[in-house]
Amino acid sequence: MQIGITGATGMVGRAVGTLALGTGHEVIGYSRQASSPQPHVSRTLISTKENPLPETKLDALIHLAGENLFGVWTKAKLERIWKSRVDLTRQIVTQLRTWKPENRPKVLLCASAVGFYGDRGDEVLEENSPAGSGYLAGLCKEWEAAAKQASAMGTRVVLLRTGVVLGREGGAYPLMRRVFSLGLGGRMGSGKQWMPWIHEQDEATLILWALENESVVGPLNLCAPHPVTNAEYTRRLAAHLKRPAFFHVPAFAMRLAPKRMADEMLLISQRAFPRVATDLGYRFAYPQLDDALTELGGS
């Protein structure tokens, strides 16, 4: 297949591209900047603000582009997050309508997040669970609605509700590992909040599995079948690194961060379960956190 990837230079984009190339697909990466040849894409097309998706023949499009959520949530930051997800997805779907029908991808896999569910305590969240409340839930809801407009062209749409991706070279894990290696790790708030996680290998494999599996339509929880609480994650990571984890950041202190970032990302509880993947027979390479941490070099 000819697979297009937006956000191909990000951690997930690199992992998906590498896996796709290794299984015989051609990978077309979309990028705002010309760069030297990348080992995880076959070729690169330059995108612009006016033309984010230059036309070419695609069998599938994996849309992963978006402003990083981490950082100070100023008004300008929140606007960039929204525009890079909701507005850009709308623009891409609108642009696909102008493509020659024979060039349009048969499937669009659009990034989303378990943030769709909002803060839900101990409730088990499957793909048919309703949207929650808050900025991130509203963002994901509109983001997914924009992607679903592609179905009017006969395109199969898959909504990738990703949890915390654990990988060596990107995302939150390298920072967490450095902090814990220094003996400065600890739980956040009460530690009772559920943390849906997934190893980067399963993240990439699940995306390609959904691309190739025509029975997958709509939301897909990209998270391991065994989520853990923040306190349990803290304990296990500290044990794998053989370091203490005495520090504790109380919730009231975390809420001093501007613009709700702590409530929306760090203290939120989402006990997400990958019902669609498990019911359709996907077998996780790393279903348990200890196995994932060991593979990542935590022991």
| AA letter at 117 | Y
Nearest to 222 by CA among 268, 280, 160: 160
pLDDT of residue 169: 83
**What are 255-292's pLDDT values in tens digits?**
555 545 555 667 789 999 999 999 999 999 999 999 99
pLDDT of residue 72: 77
**What are 39-55's pLDDT values in tens digits?**
899 999 989 889 999 99
Cα–Cα distance measured from residue 59 to residue 154, given in angstroms and rounded to the nearest whole number: 13
Phi, psi of 197 (to 5 degrees): -130, 165
**What are 62-105's pLDDT values in tens digits?**
999 998 887 778 889 899 999 999 999 999 999 999 999 999 99
pLDDT of residue 253: 47
* CATH numeric code, 2-167+197-224+272-286: 3.40.50.720
Average pLDDT, the chain: 90
pLDDT of residue 93: 98
Domain chopping of the chain, boundaries: 2-167+197-224+272-286
61, 25 in Cβ contact below 8 A? Answer: no
The pTM of the full predicted model, rounded to 2 decimals, is: 0.92
Residue 256: both structure tokens together: 């001093």
In the three-class reduction of DSSP (H, G, I as helix; E, B as strand; rest coil), residue 4 is classed as: strand
Q: Does the pLDDT at position 133 exceed 70? A: yes
Helices (H), the chain: 11-22, 75-82, 88-98, 135-148, 173-181, 200-212, 230-241, 251-254, 261, 275-279, 289-295
Cα–Cα distance measured from residue 152 to residue 30, given in angstroms and rounded to the nearest whole number: 24
**What are 134-170's pLDDT values in tens digits?**
999 999 999 999 999 999 999 999 999 999 999 988 8
Phi, psi of 263 (to 5 degrees): -65, -35
